[in-house]
Structure 1
Amino acid sequence: MRFGLFYVLECPDHDFRRAYREMLAQIGYAERLGFDEVWLAEHHGSDYGSMPSPQVAAAAVAERTSRMRIGIAVSNLTFDWPVRVAEDYAMVDVLSGGRLDFGAGRGYQPGEFRNMGVGDRQDVSRAVFTEALEIIRGLWSKPVGERFSYHGEHFHIDAVDCRPAPVQKPTPPIYVASISPQTFELAQRDNLLITPTLMTLPELNRLVVGFKRDLITGGRDPLSLDFPMNWQIHLAETEGQALADVAGPLSWYYRNVLDLVPHGPRVPRTYERYAELVAASEEAGGLTLEGLRESGVVYAGDPAGLIAEIENLYQETGLQHLICWMRFGGLAHEKVLRSMELFAEHVMPRFRDRPPVVPRALRAEAAAIS
């Protein structure tokens, strides 16, 4: 099983120098602790995230690490010209010696679309995303000097070359992000980044098992794709200490995210799920730490409890790749470091050598057929 860290880099106090410094220190420490990778998220124009250019952060990470893979979770392809995105991340792959994992998404916060001058794109974001990803894949797949052209509804390029070319061939690993059930439909041949942040863990589990069942039905090996799960996790020596640590940061985080997702009288097409979540939260009187824990959106507790949760995910969904979102809501640096230490000491050794498995329900179905 592989383990990583994830950063949106929320910065409630607007001390960005401190936030970047802490993130880079945590990543360097994570490599020494044995974490396999780090994932960096792109966001614009709000306190929710302070990393508008993950490619810049990734280059800094590449210089401070030697072994960890550097994932992007994600590059929002609706915000930029895809040729430039391909060039920037090819450069990251070169600078890191071939350690890039490229995650792509279509964005979901209306304020970000307006901030980046593409407010009219959100209604057609699926189509824009699909075309942009095909262009990036095409540019990376061509040998240097061989030109690439593409003509779609939203992008037209003629005889373009990508310099530099990525180190990894035919391309760096590509991941598609899903934080809503509808986005699962976008992932047909790429790895799938999943998170229970805006859906319950049981719901996410059902979607993953169903997607893997569809792969089998289509004649594909469900183990041929990677399904890393990004999960908000905080560990402390006791459950009580963990809950005390995260109460403020989680409250801050979810107040912000529910304000930023699509909701209200004008919801862009294909984003209705977000408005439903906001309405359900308001009807329930707001999100609570107890509710987030009960729904599996967040794990805050001691290492023994997390081990039991991961064991269940391993059996039920075939979890083989866990990304730990440990620095959320401006959680104090020393608390994040301690959570990382407890995870590396107690959790990693229990799962590091587990072989890949098909979800329990699919194993049972296969046994019944045979």
Structure 2
Amino acid sequence: KEAIEIVCGMWESEYFEYHSPRFDFPRRMVTPKPVQDPHPPAWMAATSQGSSAVAGQLGLGLLSFAIMQPLQKMAEHIRDYRAAIKNPKPVTRRVNNRVAAYTLVHCADTFAQCEENGIWDSVWWWYKNLAEFTLQWEFPHFSQEEKDQIFPLLRKHAEGDLDVKVFHEADMIIVGDPDQCLEKMIRYAELGVDQLICYSQFGSLPHEAIMRSIELCGTKLIPELERRSIEVDQKIVAKA
């Protein structure tokens, strides 16, 4: 909560300072900062029901990670968030009542082409690297039991007891031909997701396959979503 107040304070004040038992920030000019008023909407990443409700209570947008949990579990988090956001106690001047979901997206002309592009190895690369980075830098003090609870598929994969296709079968990722991807995206919308953050460049996917996926999203998926009156925010974020 304090961190959010600090960031928004930096956005809105030419000079900013903050002092508390946890933070001691001397008076400074912080740049760059947005010029719009009110400030941009603030979001809170949440992967548990408790934190989802907190995001709603604070008047923040909910940023969820579909690949980290079954969709039904994410739907429960969204319901908790929607209930909490009805009567928020905002920590910023702008209430953001939207839900965004982040997941891996790879669209090809056929499902077989997705597999030929190396989608399964690339999905596992993403999950493994996220897990290793998170556990090493954010939770190094956790016990092995606690680590297994956060990333349960790591141990299963090490023991040879995991088929990476489980991500696809549970709709935790969006992979397939345009019709398959559209069906999955519509399901996300039906669960209450307002904004889908599509991560397209991951693992060992060839550049040409990534570009084709983006092209299919733009020519096949976005027009169909718009036709169905599902709001689409067309932005491409390039990784340096």
TM tier relative to shorter chain = 0.7 to 0.9
CA–CA distance in 2 between the matches of 1:302 and 1:241?
9
The letter of the residue matching 1:227 is V
SS of residue in 2 equivalent to 1:243: helix
CA–CA distance in 1 between the matches of 2:27 and 2:132?
43
CA deviation string 1:118-177 (max 9, x = no partner): xxxxxxxxxxxx3332212112222x3xx4332222211344333454212232222222
CA–CA distance in 2 between the matches of 1:257 and 1:355?
30
CA–CA distance in 1 between the matches of 2:230 and 2:205?
33
CA contact (8 A) 1:242 1:301 kept: yes
User: What is the aligned counterpart of 1:258 among 114, 131, 139?
Assistant: 131
Which residue does 1:227 correspond to in 2? 99
State the 1:209 CA deviation: 2.1
SS of residue in 1 equivalent to 2:202: coil
Which residue does 2:202 correspond to in 1? 328
State the 1:179 CA deviation: 4.2
CA contact (8 A) 2:171 2:184 kept: no
Return the TM-score normalized by structure 1.
0.52
Which residue does 1:197 correspond to in 2? 67
SS of residue in 2 equivalent to 1:342: helix
Residue 289 of structure 1 pairs with residue 161 of structure 2: no
Residue 249 of structure 1 pairs with residue 122 of structure 2: yes
State the 1:204 CA deviation: 1.1
Moved more, 296-305 or 246-255: 246-255
CA contact (8 A) 1:251 1:288 kept: no
State the percentage of identical aligned residues: 24
User: What is the aligned counterpart of 1:338 among 167, 192, 212?
Assistant: 212
Residue 157 of structure 1 pairs with residue 28 of structure 2: no
User: What is the aligned counterpart of 1:169 among 22, 37, 47?
Assistant: 37
Cα distance change, pair 262–219 in 1 and its aligned pair in 2 (3 A): closer
Which residue does 2:81 correspond to in 1? 211
The letter of the residue matching 1:166 is P
Which residue does 1:350 correspond to in 2? 224
The letter of the residue matching 1:331 is L
CA contact (8 A) 1:180 1:198 kept: no
The letter of the residue matching 2:65 is T
CA–CA distance in 2 between the matches of 1:135 and 1:152?
11
Which residue does 1:238 correspond to in 2? 110
SS of residue in 1 equivalent to 2:44: strand
CA contact (8 A) 1:179 1:197 kept: no
Return the TM-score normalized by structure 2.
0.76
State the 1:224 CA deviation: 5.1
CA RMSD between the two structures: 3.0
The unaligned stretches of length 5 or more in structure 1 are 1-129, 357-370
Cα distance change, pair 327–302 in 1 and its aligned pair in 2 (3 A): same
State the 1:215 CA deviation: 2.3
State the 1:355 CA deviation: 5.8
CA deviation string 1:188-230 (max 9, x = no partner): 22222221122122211221122112323x379xx95121211
Moved more, 166-175 or 233-242: 166-175
CA deviation string 1:218-269 (max 9, x = no partner): 379xx9512121121111111121123212222322333333333899418x
Write the mapping of 1:9-48 to structure 2, written as runs, cut at 5 A. Answer: none
State the 1:295 CA deviation: 2.2
CA contact (8 A) 2:131 2:151 kept: yes
